[in-house]
Amino acid sequence: MDDRKLKAARQFIEAIPHSRALGMVLDTLEDGVAVISMPYDARFVGDPQTGVIHGGAVSALMDSCSGAAVMSHPTGVIGTATIDLRIDYMRPARPGDRITARAECYHVTRAVAFVRATAHDADTDRPVATATGAFTLERAKEARA
């Protein structure tokens, strides 16, 4: 994706009120693969005794990143919505670290997109969480069934 298109996509995603509230930044977006990251913020803590970010905030990051991956699929996608999303939590994210999610739209049919995603903190070798999801697909110039 050229810089102009990436900039437009970045503005679009960062203009979503909840993504902005969580401080999400679109790092890269290309042909069905999206990378979005989110800073550590004390307001997002789920366990006050450890300072670990709440799973719900990680879910929001995974959902946004997966949706962006679907939108960037090179088959003229104009709209998408989550059908289902499953998240597996491997380990707590390290307090203070930025969390980065990478989502890949690995298969599409006429009406459905399949996505998998991984999230990690500063330690990029051990994922914090993984996700799989199914998303609706709307394409341009396609009569609604």
Partner 1 sequence: MSARAKPEPVQVVKERRDAALRALVHGVPYIQFLGIEFDRRGDELTALLPFDDKLIGNPMLPAIHGGVTAAFLEVTAIIELSWSLVWDEMESGRLDPRKLDPSHLPRLPKTIDFTVDYLRTGLPRDAYARARLNRSGRRYASVHVEAWQDNRSRLFAQGTGHFLMPERDARPDG
Whether the Cβ atoms of residue 131 and residue 117 lie closer than 8 Å to each other: yes
Asked if residue 95 binds partner 1 (CB under 8 A), the reply is no
The token pair that represents 37 in the structure block: 């990251």
Applying CB under 8 A, which of residues 3, 4, 49, 143 lies at the interface with partner 1?
Answer: 49
Asked if residue 60 binds partner 1 (CB under 8 A), the reply is yes
Beta carbons within 10 angstroms of residue 1's beta carbon? 14
Give CA–CA dist 108/75, Å, rounded. 9
**Closest distance to partner 1 from the beta carbon of 2 (Å):** 25
**Closest distance to partner 1 from the beta carbon of 107 (Å):** 19
Give CA–CA dist 54/65, Å, rounded. 17
Applying CB under 8 A, which of residues 1, 6, 25, 87 lies at the interface with partner 1?
Answer: 87
The token pair that represents 109 in the structure block: 């049919």
The letter for the amino acid at 120 is: H
Asked if residue 89 binds partner 1 (CB under 8 A), the reply is yes
Asked if residue 62 binds partner 1 (CB under 8 A), the reply is yes
Asked if residue 19 binds partner 1 (CB under 8 A), the reply is yes
Give CA–CA dist 95/42, Å, rounded. 9
Asked if residue 42 binds partner 1 (CB under 8 A), the reply is yes
Residue numbers of the site for partner 1 (CB under 8 A)?
15-22, 42-49, 53-57, 59-64, 67, 81-89, 92
